[in-house]
Chain A
Amino acid sequence: EIVMTQSPATLSVSPGERATLSCRASQSINSNLDWYQQKPGQAPRLLMYGASTRATGVPGRFSGSGSGTEFTLTISSLQSEDFALYYCQQYNNWPRTFGQGTKVEIK
C-alpha cells in the first residue's frame, strides 16, 4: 500500500498570504495525484487532478506541482473561503490512499 504523508498538519495563514501544502508518496506515483478540499459538514471537492490540472470551476489562485513522490499545492492569495481541510490522494495503485490532511486556518 502506498502511504501518503502530508505536511504540515496545520497551516496558519493570514488572508491574502500564500499557502504551500506538501504531500509525499512512499513510492513513485508518477503524476497520478489529486487534491481535495473539504469544509466542515461538507463532502470533499476535487481541486486538482494529474497533480497540476485544476478541476472545473477551481479558481486560478490554486496551483499544483510535482511528480514521482513529492507534490505541492499552492494557494497564491488566501481568500476566506479557502480556509478548509486539504487532502492529497494517489490513484496510481490499488488501494487508493489519501494523506491525513492539512488544515489551513486563519492566522
Chain B
Amino acid sequence: EVELVESGGVLVQPGESLRLSCAASGFAFSLYSMNWVRQAPGKGLEWVSYITSDTRTINYADSVKGRFTISRDNAKNSLFLQMNSLRAEDTAVYYCARSVAGSFDHWGQGTLVTVSS
C-alpha cells in the first residue's frame, strides 16, 4: 500500500527557515516524480513544487520561487522541501503527492506550517 508521511511542520517566525520531509513507502519511490501542494487554512489547494525521479526537472510556483527548494533522497525514499524566508502567507498544510502522468494519485496526510510572530 502506498503511504506518504509528511513531517517537520511547526510554528516559526517570519523570516525563519524550515525543512519538511515526506517518507514514502509501499512503492518504488525512485521511479516516480513527486510534488508539494499546500492548503492555507480554510482555503483551496495550491501546487508548490515538482521534482522528477532523477531530479533533472524541478519546477516551482512563482509564489515560492527563490525561497523554497525541493529535493529528494531516493536511497532513503524521502522527499524534502527547504523553506527559507518564510512569510505569513506561507502558513498552510503542506502535502506531498505522488505524480503519475501529471495527476496527483496519492497524497500524504499533510503537515501544518504556521508562520507568525
Chain A interfacial positions (CB closer than 8 Å to B): 1, 32, 34, 36, 38, 42-46, 49, 55, 87, 89, 91, 94-101
- In the complex, the answer to whether B108 meets A98 with C-beta atoms within 8 Å is no
Q: Does B103 contact A (CB under 8 A)?
A: yes
Determine the distance from Cα of A88 to Cα of B19 in the docked complex, in whole angstroms: 29
Q: Does B104 contact A (CB under 8 A)?
A: yes
- In the complex, the answer to whether A95 meets B61 with C-beta atoms within 8 Å is yes
In the bound complex, residues from chain A placing their C-beta under 8 Å from that of B37 are: 44
Known: A95-B59, A96-B50. A43 touches B108 (CB 8 A): yes
Determine the distance from Cα of A62 to Cα of B44 in the docked complex, in whole angstroms: 22
**CB closest residue in chain A, given B4:** A43
Determine the distance from Cα of A55 to Cα of B44 in the docked complex, in whole angstroms: 21
Determine the distance from Cα of A88 to Cα of B36 in the docked complex, in whole angstroms: 17
Determine the distance from Cα of A99 to Cα of B44 in the docked complex, in whole angstroms: 8
Q: Does B26 contact A (CB under 8 A)?
A: no
Determine the distance from Cα of A98 to Cα of B104 in the docked complex, in whole angstroms: 12
Beyond the given A55-B103, A99-B44, A101-B45, please list 16 additional residue pairs across the A-B interface where CB-CB is below 8 A.
A32-B102, A34-B104, A36-B104, A43-B107, A44-B107, A46-B106, A49-B103, A89-B47, A94-B50, A94-B59, A95-B61, A95-B62, A96-B35, A96-B102, A98-B44, A98-B46
Say how far A66's CB is from chain B's closest CB, in angstroms.
16
- In the complex, the answer to whether B47 meets A43 with C-beta atoms within 8 Å is no
Name B20-68 residues within 8 Å CB distance of A. 35, 37, 44-47, 50, 59-62
Which DSSP category, helix, strand, loop or mixed, fits chain A's interface? loop
- In the complex, the answer to whether B102 meets A91 with C-beta atoms within 8 Å is yes
- In the complex, the answer to whether B105 meets A46 with C-beta atoms within 8 Å is yes
Determine the distance from Cα of A94 to Cα of B52 in the docked complex, in whole angstroms: 14
- In the complex, the answer to whether A101 meets B44 with C-beta atoms within 8 Å is yes
In the bound complex, residues from chain B placing their C-beta under 8 Å from that of A94 are: 50, 59
- In the complex, the answer to whether A95 meets B102 with C-beta atoms within 8 Å is no
- In the complex, the answer to whether A43 meets B110 with C-beta atoms within 8 Å is yes
